[in-house]
Amino acid sequence: MDVTRRLMSFQFTFFLFYLQAVLSGNPTDTRTVPITVSNLEDVLNHNEIVFVNFYADWCRFSKMLEPVFEEASNTVPAAMQNVVFGKVNCDSETEVAQKFGISKYPTLKLFRNGRVQKREYRGQRSVEAFKEYIEEQMKSNIKEVNDLKQLNDIDGKKRNVIGYFNSKESPEYKTFQQVASNLRDDCDFSVAVGEIAKKERISGDNIIFRPPRTKDQDMVYLGSLVNKDLLTAWTTDKCVPLVREITFENGEELTEEGLPFLILFHNPDDAQVVQKFNQIVSRELLHEKGNINFLIADGTKFTHPLHHLGKSTKDLPVLAIDSFRHMYLFPDISQMNVPGKLKQFCADLHSGKLHREFHHGPDPTTSPQIAGQEQQQQQQQGGGSAPQEKRPTTPPESQFIKLAPSKNRYTLLRDEL
């Protein structure tokens, strides 16, 4: 009798638990998809948007995020069948973690049409914030104009890609739409469709790129408008410049790339020095792409790094390297145009010469004649017969390393430089 009573009690309790779970939406009934090396390509390539949490079970920040991320996955409307929340256990799926360069836990990355997006999610970690983020990502980033004159009012400080099409149903427009979606973080996209685009469609649909701060310098795309790979390559080349601008908004993601900064601090009204810097980098430093990040910065905003270099806004433009350990000033900005000067400055960073000479003075020369001249100068300056001892100095500490991911929000997998 007692056994029967206990069994009935257990069944009643289980029924109440089940009923509560159904009425509350049961947070354990998640839509989050575990991603492994075996299903990675399938998940990424068969969904327009895949929002992925790269985590580790032992990481306390991952533990804090897990229930929030799981609950957020259930807020995505069922109508959004092309949106998936995914998760990667980086301890068991090391190959997947390494493929995407995971250097901290938890890392949240967005994949669009199978391509990882450059910018990680760095916003609030709440159900509502995740929901709003996904909804925003699902919106079209293409601005349609009703009059060609509106194209004169687009943001001239940004890189713009403009398409002229006969119809939104054409294969050409569909290709443009996919490329624009994938590069939404790198360029602004506008489009004119139908009758209003007729003037620009004399030879058919076409796409142009408008560089920032330019007039009448549009570049026309000459490839196939239905070749997605070709259009992507052309647009990427135009939208992702060799020299980028660092701001307080993108500083963390640039710092996280782990490459030293060669950075030009300039007055925002001085477009000429920015153009000159771009030309020199393109001409002399292409081989350094992948070793150094080439950046420009508004010197009227980034005054703190200038101060540590012993400079102010009155000294702009200023050129320096931030190695994430120290900052090294390019001694004479007027020498930037001299062939080989900037190239040697970067080479001296890699060889350790910048760091060594800052601490111990100029490296000794191998030429006896020059060595004798230096010794004579030192004797004259010091008033004695022995060479004057060089006092060790310390270069300014890196200021941009402070923009790196916070240890109060992530478990970092590698030491900061």
Q: Please say whether the beta carbons of 34 and 96 come within 8 A.
A: no
Which class in CATH covers the domain with range 33-138?
alpha beta
With CA atoms as reference, report the closest residue to 277 among 250, 221, 316. Answer: 316
With CA atoms as reference, report the closest residue to 333 among 242, 244, 266. Answer: 266
Alpha carbon 79 to its chain's center: 31
pLDDT for the residue 365: 56
**pLDDT > 70? residue 124:** yes
Least confident of 94-98, 112-116, 402-406: 402-406
Mean pLDDT of the chain: 84
Give the span between the Cα atoms of 395 and 308, in whole angstroms: 9
Whether the predicted model's global pTM rises above the 0.85 cut? no
Cα 64 to Cα 18, 103, 123, 230: the distances in Å are 26, 18, 15, 43
Tell me the mean pLDDT in the region 182-197: 94
pLDDT for the residue 79: 55
The helix/strand count (H/E) of the chain reads as 13, 17
Q: DSSP secondary-structure letter at 61? A: H
pLDDT for the residue 301: 95
- What is the pairing mode between strands 411-412 and 104-105? antiparallel
Superfamily in which the 142-239 domain is placed by CATH: Glutaredoxin (3.40.30.10)
pLDDT for the residue 366: 45
- pLDDT, tens digit, 9 for 90 and up, residues 168-189: 999 999 999 999 998 998 899 9
The label of the residue with tokens 């702009």 reads 316
Number of other CB atoms surrounding residue 281 within 10 Å = 21
The label of the residue with tokens 């923009």 reads 403
Higher pLDDT among residues 166 and 290, named by residue: 166
For the chain, give percent helix, strand, coil, nearest 5.
40, 20, 40
Instruction: Answer yes or no: same fold for 142-239 and 243-360.
Output: yes
What CATH number is given for 243-360 in this structure? 3.40.30.10
Q: Please say whether the beta carbons of 359 and 393 come within 8 A.
A: yes
pLDDT for the residue 274: 94
Alpha carbon 390 to its chain's center: 42
The most confident of 17-26, 98-107, 116-125, 193-202, by mean pLDDT:
193-202
pLDDT for the residue 78: 57
Cα 410 to Cα 94, 256, 272: the distances in Å are 18, 12, 40
3-state secondary structure of 201: coil
**pLDDT > 50? residue 384:** no
The label of the residue with tokens 């390539």 reads 45
**pLDDT > 60? residue 311:** yes
pLDDT for the residue 393: 55
Give the span between the Cα atoms of 87 and 30, in whole angstroms: 12
Number of other CB atoms surrounding residue 289 within 10 Å = 12
**pLDDT > 50? residue 80:** yes
**pLDDT > 90? residue 42:** yes
pLDDT for the residue 319: 97
Tell me the mean pLDDT in the region 84-96: 96
Angle value at C-alpha 57, between 52 and 59, nearest 5 degrees: 90
Helix (H) or strand (E) holding 263: strand 261-266
User: In the structure, what pLDDT confidence band is assigned to residue 357 with cuts at 50, 70 and 90?
Assistant: confident
pLDDT for the residue 234: 96
Tell me the mean pLDDT in the region 148-166: 92
N-term to C-term CA, the chain = 71
pLDDT for the residue 193: 97
Give the span between the Cα atoms of 267 and 317, in whole angstroms: 7
pLDDT for the residue 363: 67
Higher pLDDT among residues 68 and 373, named by residue: 68
**pLDDT > 80? residue 389:** no
pLDDT more than 90, % of the chain: 61
Higher pLDDT among residues 219 and 29, named by residue: 219
**pLDDT > 60? residue 132:** yes
**pLDDT > 50? residue 270:** yes
3-state secondary structure of 34: strand
List the domain boundaries for the chain.
33-138, 142-239, 243-360
pLDDT for the residue 160: 96
pLDDT for the residue 303: 94
pLDDT for the residue 373: 47
Tokens of 23: 């009425």
